[in-house]
Amino acid sequence: MKPLLLSLLLLIVPALPAAAQDWALGGFDAVAYARAGHPVPGRSDIVTMWKGKLWHFASEDNRARFEADPRAYAPGFNGLCPVSLSEGRREKGDPRHFIILDRKLYLLRSESAERQMRAAPKDVLSQAKRIWGKIR
């Protein structure tokens, strides 16, 4: 059943011009952040659907790891930038700017936000978590 669903998905996705909007992490491989240490583009033929988004992977192994425990690889705060949250704003993180803290991926809105996060990760996360608890 799963291969059939994947085959159908792969036939439908290229026909949808807005499909890229439904791509998690802009098409980057969520597992590769931790394994490679940098953003790695996923392949269009190695995908899975989770939480209404298409997640792309650079390898079958990475897809299997993600499918076994997607929450371990999905970005914190649903991909919102922790620096923005700590400042009281809901701003989407850019998958090219990230940090991994305590084995959790966080996306940052910009290079500047990435520098802020690296300079004071505990302070930023603490404040972001307080605000996140109020807006979820």
The pLDDT of residue 27: 96
pTM comes to: 0.83
- Decide if pLDDT at 132 tops 80: yes
Q: Coil, strand, or helix at residue 18?
A: coil
- Per cent of the chain over pLDDT 90 is 81
What is the tens place of the pLDDT at every residue in 24-44?
999 999 999 999 999 999 999
Strands 53-57 and 94-101: unpaired
pLDDT exceeds cutoff 80 at 92: yes
Is residue 19 predicted with pLDDT exceeding 70?
no
**Could you tell me the CA-to-CA distances from 69 to 5, 65, 82, 112 in Å, in that order?**
20, 7, 22, 31
